[in-house]
Amino acid sequence: DAKTTQPTSMDCAEGRAANLPCNHSTISGNEYVYWYRQIHSQGPQYIIHGLKNNETNEMASLIITEDRKSSTLILPHATLRDTAVYYCIVRVAVQNFVFGPGTRLSVLP
């Protein structure tokens, strides 16, 4: 599965949009982009996934560039409860669900 790179940490003011970038320049045509987050002491929580089109659900929006080499997760109105580590994963093989270090998002009051 393709490797992803994310910033180590980001801050966001409460109520503002949080934009979390992810680079996946070696992504192949049949690999999906997944975003999960992990709030302290909890299991990972699914957020959103996509293949090539932009996606939106009740939690977030996912913007994938046309060449699919990068994507951005957008939390439109961040709250304090969105403070977590956010993981960007690209995968096709069911067993290779490997989480890298992710981005530690701190939402500040």
Q: Which of residues 39-98 bind other proteins (CB under 8 A)?
A: 42-46, 49, 87, 91-98
Contact code string over 18-37 relative to other proteins, x by CB under 8 A: ------------xxx-x---
- Judged by CB under 8 A, does residue 5 bind other proteins? no
In degrees and rounded to multiples of 5, residue 9 shows phi and psi of -150, 155
By three-state DSSP, how is residue 88 classified? strand
In degrees and rounded to multiples of 5, residue 25 shows phi and psi of -70, -20
Would you tell me which residues interact with other proteins (CB under 8 A)? 30-32, 34, 42-46, 49, 87, 91-102
